[in-house]
Structure 1
């Protein structure tokens, strides 16, 4: 029931490319893990901020005292104890783009009240049905463009596109708007290019406001209609929270899924014996996804604010301090994982920190896993003898916070 009368507004000027903002915002470092290991050797809680260690990006809350959390016990403590550590830290960046109604900026009880409504829609049994009806058709439509050519760039032609196409179909929006929609979604996190994040948020907000109004008058079975009309305990989502969630959905379910899938494919192509094992036994897809998320999760660092004066890892932390919680440090902790820098789909499966922990664990994690699983099945079904293209540069995952390779050049077939 896509509504053609509601149109999305492009960046001004349209030549702005949000995909080139990654380096400025998240760095161009191929391997931040030696530096993360060195931080852990200094102690579990360090004074300073994570980005400054790499001379990358901007620092919200410049007036606040800052700490870097790299100890696994302390990382878990910060992410799970919302009485001492608040998500208010995100109000200075994500709050200005996704909106102050974003559940990422909230603490309990407000956060829990609204999260219950989102969870009702993103339950695994609902998400699994989207795999057949939405995810598979998107994956195959994209692959049809290159499947007979014997070569491709899996980032530019596949992984960068398909999560946004999935969301677009979930929202039941006009096909003509999909590229602008994706560009605005990515642009919301470009805080280093003056005004771009705010421009993207404003234009998406205008779009979603008209869309929600239309779907309340003419509801369908699309995700916007479900979000606008679902209630829990007699309560609907306020418009501020709903518009913020729709903005954030583009990044939480689109940007991070594209990054995670790209990293998964990079790791398997760089370890062809493990890719071959998955070809022979597709039950290994699930552990491969979890290992990729652990080994180089698409979001290495999360942020919290100390709600009270407290002590963490033997370090006194004043109220109002900002904490850079390096989930990537826990995911590569040698006390938790044997040979943690090695990608190994056969390792013992323990829970990683890439979807966070505690009250703010990712509400879209089930959808992300479905999308990554369906992508792997499509790769195995349609790209026989998949391997890296020896005549082109090898993929290299880059970034200190949001991680992704720019290209994955491959050949397939005979």
Structure 2
């Protein structure tokens, strides 16, 4: 087990290769880790991360003005407070609940069946690149009411937006590329917004275009930012979580067998996947005043990163935290996709992920469809598993062999 030392950096290639190796020692020896290169503090203990995410006066989302707003083309939900946040969040949530959610689940099932069809006959699929990534974008475009034929172009633009938000350092060239992607995505969305204002449908963009806040319709800038906000929130966690779910069940065949026998355990397997390997590893905040953690003062104005992967494996919060266990009693499956979740994979408090319930329904629908179809599922011969990402993290690929069940 490596030891955290003065030369340690969360920005190093070594940490990026496998951050989970370092989490225990960060919590024990450097629970407040400072990175001078980016003038930021990293908190790895569950209690500290939860404190930051729930104390909205002491720790604000102002850092998103620099980290997200330039590519979101306007303020995102996490930057809003008070009546504005409540009203606009409610509009977005309405697009992911009730009858809208039931309609989306049918569309998700059809999307998944269509995408998986060609691979069933082959008995092999890359669950990330062949299936998960295109599915996540298809599903989000359906919710928004955008043309699914444009999915590859939208995915390319979104990739640039995500790179801007999740990169700790960007070269001028990469920054320009990300901004170009955001500008082209905005140019693509503006005619759609104009059309939906005059001819609204049942899609989420129409709901945003026809909604009012304080008696005033939202501007094109407001609507564009919320669309890109939804695009990022709906696609980033979904494809990663689905692949990680299958990886953990393959690595724990006894739990895979239990989920196959009892489909009611699937929700617990998804919740434990989110705790064990959260797709969003870092959540930033800005300290509004001097704050002390583990005897270390974080100065007002400093950027603070909550290390979700480390917090979710804190033994102060979870028993045997480095074990994947769908039966763990300290997780609480029923609340794991709500603001009362014990794990921090969706954040917590006022700015908990707006799409948490949708993510559960999407992953559960797709996994429930795939598990009976993919018998004796296993890694393909010669496949080597690898994850990437510091801010968001997931498998580069997941090549699986299986015996198809028709």
| CA distance in structure 2 between the aligned counterparts of 1:305 and 1:27, rounded to whole angstroms | 27
1:254 has 2:235 as partner: yes
How far does residue 235 in structure 1 lie from its aligned partner after superposition? 5.2
How far does residue 364 in structure 1 lie from its aligned partner after superposition? 0.7
| 1:195-344 alignment runs, 5 A limit | 195-231=176-212, 234=215, 236-344=217-325
1:164-205: CA deviation from partner (whole Å, max 9, x where unpaired) = 001122233333311111111122122332412111111111
- Equivalent position of 2:7 in the other structure: none
Asked if 2 retains the 8 angstrom alpha-carbon contact of 1:88 and 1:107, the reply is: no
| CA distance in structure 1 between the aligned counterparts of 2:28 and 2:291, rounded to whole angstroms | 23
1:397 has 2:387 as partner: yes
Q: Name the TM-score, length of structure 1 as normaliser.
A: 0.85
- Equivalent position of 1:187 in the other structure: 160
1:72-103: CA deviation from partner (whole Å, max 9, x where unpaired) = 11111110111110101121121111133212
CA pair 314-99 structure 1, distance change in 2 beyond 3 A: farther
| CA distance in structure 1 between the aligned counterparts of 2:29 and 2:252, rounded to whole angstroms | 32
Q: Name the TM-score, length of structure 2 as normaliser.
A: 0.86
Q: Tell me how large the CA RMSD over aligned residues is.
A: 2.3
- Equivalent position of 1:97 in the other structure: 71
| 1:77-226 alignment runs, 5 A limit | 77-108=51-82, 110-123=84-97, 126-132=100-106, 134-191=107-164, 192=170, 193-226=174-207
Which of residues 352, 357, 360 is equivalent to 1:361? 352
1:41 has 2:33 as partner: no
Q: Which moved more, 1:169-178 or 1:250-259?
A: 169-178
| CA distance in structure 1 between the aligned counterparts of 2:13 and 2:256, rounded to whole angstroms | 29
Asked if 2 retains the 8 angstrom alpha-carbon contact of 1:43 and 1:71, the reply is: no
How far does residue 27 in structure 1 lie from its aligned partner after superposition? 8.7
Asked if 2 retains the 8 angstrom alpha-carbon contact of 1:131 and 1:370, the reply is: yes
1:228-251: CA deviation from partner (whole Å, max 9, x where unpaired) = 123467454333221111112222
- Where structure 1 has 5 or more consecutive residues not aligned to the other structure, the ranges are 1-23, 53-58, 60-64
